[in-house]
A = this chain, B = another copy of it.
Amino acid sequence: MSFTGYPSKLLENAVSEFASLPGIGRKTAFRLVMSLLKRDSAEVRKFGESLIKLHEEIHYCKICHNISDTEICNICSDKNRDMSMICVVENIQDVMAIENTRQFKGLYHVLGGIISPIDGVGPSDLKIDSLEDKVRNGVVREVIFALSTTMEGDTTNYYLYKRLSKYDVRLSTLARGVAIGDELEYTDEITLGRSIINRTPFTSPV
């Protein structure tokens, strides 16, 4: 049964907002809104404000492009981390996944995506220039490509290799303990942790 004829415009608006989220249909959206209606006003206000604040107060770290509450994120401003190692990842989920393994003490660089011609994502859409700047400046001794082991990940790896191999820097990738075709963020912590320890020098596939 389709839900037309909402008794309230306010209700309909809230349902439409939830239904605009990926994987949430109108029926589910309606149930979510109904569950919110059963709560205290203060609780729902907190929910709404958390979304508004999230967007308006959040920062992206100026160094690694990870999400952060401050201009420079906790990881980049941590003096105990090894500034000579940069782990290149697709998105912030991947930073969190690798941090959870507790196997990596260097810094990150979040590309903000992966080269994917089908999705219309090219190198210029990603934070690659700022990565090259870091490598050119000479502090970095090693760049670890920690991208998903998919076609797009391999393409991006190769592109990064072409951009960075002219500098005096070691390029490595995660050990192929990560199963081929798997998304990085779904890999178990043991495998992912081991694949950082056993990272291998990057070799051009061509």
Contacts and interface: CB of A to CB of B under 8 A. Distances in A.
Interface of A: 1-11, 13-14, 17, 20-24, 28, 30-37, 39, 41, 44-58, 66-69, 73-75, 91-93, 95-97, 99-100, 185-189, 192
Interface of A: prevailing SS:
helix
B67 A8 contact: yes
Q: Which of A4, A7, A52, A97 has the most CB of B within 10 A?
A: A7
A3 B96 contact: yes
A69 B99 CA distance: 48
Contact of A22 (B21, B35, B69, B97): B35
Given A33-B54, A46-B17, A69 B10 contact: yes
Contact of A13 (B23, B54, B97, B99): B54
Which 5 residue pairs across A and B have the least CB separation, nearest first?
A48-B51, A48-B52, A48-B48, A44-B55, A14-B54
A178 to B, nearest CB: 13
B93 A58 contact: no
